[in-house]
Amino acid sequence: MPPIVSSSRRRFLQQAAVALAAQTPVARAFARQPSPPYALTRSAPFARELLIPPVMGGTLDATGVRHYHLDMAAGAQHLVADLLTPTWGYNGDYLGPTIRIPRGRPVHIRLRNGLHQSTTTHWHGAHVPGNMDGGPELLIGAGHYYDYHYTLRQPAATLWYHPHPDRRTGPHIYAGLAGMLWVDDGVDASLRLPHTYGVDDIPLIIQDRRLLADGRLAYMTHPHDVMGMKGNHILVNGREQPYWNAPAQWVRLRILNASNARVYNIGCADRRPFAVVASDAGLLEHGVPVRQILLAPAERVEILVDLRRDRGRSVVLQSDSRQVVPSLSANPADSDHLDRSVFPLLELRVGAARGTPGVLPARLVTVPPLIAHGATRHFVLRVKTMHRALKSVRHMKSPRSRSRLLGPGGMNMGTGGMDMFSINHEYMRMSVINVAVTRGQTEVWYVTNDSPMAHPFHYHGTSFQVMARNGKPPPDTERGWKDTVLVRRGETVKMIAPFHEPAGRELPFMYHCHILEHEDNGMMGQFTVTEV
């Protein structure tokens, strides 16, 4: 995995807990300590072309099963020009291919772990059984493989895949293990939406990374990083501020926030409107015109940008974070300089139209309303007080919680072990099932944020619809299928979801905050979906 720099594990955890009281003399004194030499941007913006991940369509056998092969392995990549960074990736040095799976067709994915330590791969947003979900119980040992067999019956959607080991999800994704999974059902083609991969329909995986001067990834090098790891280099598909040669037509950008903790407020630098046509788990009923869209970690959005009159020009995609992000936390220390600024993501260099241009239809799909006929559940997100956080550090006895596993370039992989973030006053325990759901029922879940910062809430095995935010209807961009929702401080979000995929006690589903350092440090629970 990517490299990390830190003192002893015990000292780091003590300092991280102390950092929660950001205004104390102790925290201020620690903040004045020398920092490692971080890398600076080595090239002008938009100097390198966007890398578009290879597409993997699988191989069809005589029985109608489509086969895919993924290899997790170490590599090295120029995330920033002139710096070679040790990384991890799927079928390559960094990130992974875009996997395309036809709706309703059986697939077999053989996943081999070529790394030096165990990990998992979770199919984020996929409606699959617990034994195929890739949660923390489904560890794949170093040098071993696992065969996933499933059929996706959900509508077409932009999903993704990433590791999900207990207490190590943050560093494993940070090292580069992530990729997109697209469910295809042919509806976009019938609607004449842009759908030609790499031409007018492209994946954009946005991440931030902190690099040392020698190119290594720096992970959890500051005590406050336990509140959410943020970097000083913004990457799109594994390159800092690239450009894309776009056609002068409607283009479809499928955007994934694969950052550990950073929230983006995405729009065009010239303030032109664009249309949001899909949320996490499928198309909306119609395109929603906006000028900016907020994207929390793990959220996806599909947007259509009209470039028909822009041939010979450039359009810059950016994040105007200063308008929204600082207000997401009551503690100013939770926002860095990027959160308080406007920064570029990608330059679209518009050339001639290519292929058959797509359109923005007036109507997309019908999103059927759900009717609850199961339990109503309440979840409260909390952050432990300073006193209790220190107490938990002092009483840590588990050797595993203090372990230090090294990733790419020597990066420290051991981040878990300190229960700081809770759901319903409970902390993630592999041996504990927190919720039992009856299979086939549709439930309403209320998630209340009783902490000083926003949290993206995600659960496995299904998709949900947002019914209300603090009792008010959600924005039009959230009136479709989702699997991750940003819950602001002091806010209650009401969701409804059907539960059809089974998951037993040995391989349950998860619900958790998708700020990875939060889930690694307690903000996660487990649930089963079983027959009555």
Q: Residue range 173-201: average pLDDT?
A: 97
Q: Over 50: is that where the pLDDT of 399 sits? A: no
Categorize the per-residue pLDDT at 13 as very low, low, confident or very high, splitting at 50, 70 and 90: very low
Longest CA pairwise span in the chain (Å): 69
What pLDDT does 5 receive? 37
pLDDT for the residue 411: 83
Written as one letter, the residue type at 477 is: T
b/e burial code for range 244-263 (CB count within 10 A of at least 16 → b): bebbbbbbbbbbbbbbbbbb
pLDDT, residue 415, reads: 54
In this prediction, residue 389 carries a pLDDT of: 45
Assess whether pLDDT exceeds 80 at residue 391.
no
The whole-angstrom separation of Cα 485 and Cα 379 is 14
CB atoms near residue 93 (< 10 Å): 21
Cα separation, 495 vs 377, whole angstroms: 10
Distance CA 140, CA 289 (A): 44
- Residue 420: helix, strand or coil by DSSP? coil
Instruction: Report the distance separating Cα 299 and Cα 138, nearest Å.
Output: 24
Give 138-147's long-range contacts (Cβ < 8 A, gap of 24+). Answer: 138/507, 139/165, 140/111, 140/113, 141/113, 142/113, 142/115, 142/116, 142/117, 142/118, 143/113, 143/114, 144/112, 144/113, 145/110, 145/111, 145/112, 145/113, 146/110, 146/111, 147/108, 147/109, 147/110, 147/111
Check residue 40 and give its pLDDT. 62
Say whether pLDDT at 459 is over 80: yes
pLDDT in tens, 468-497: 999 999 999 999 999 999 999 999 999 999
Instruction: Indicate whether 9 pLDDT > 60.
Output: no
Mean pLDDT of the chain: 89
Share of the chain above pLDDT 90, in %: 83
Task: Map out the domains of the chain with their CATH numbers.
Answer: 201-252+260-351 (2.60.40.420), 376-530 (2.60.40.420)
How much is the average pLDDT of 166-182?
97
Average confidence (pLDDT) over 510-516: 98
Token readout for 84 is: 């070679």
pLDDT at 403: 52
Task: Give yes or no for residue 310 having a pLDDT over 60.
Answer: yes
Residue 275 zone, left/alpha/beta (φ > 0; ψ -120 to 50; rest): beta
Average pLDDT of the segment spanning 153-159: 97
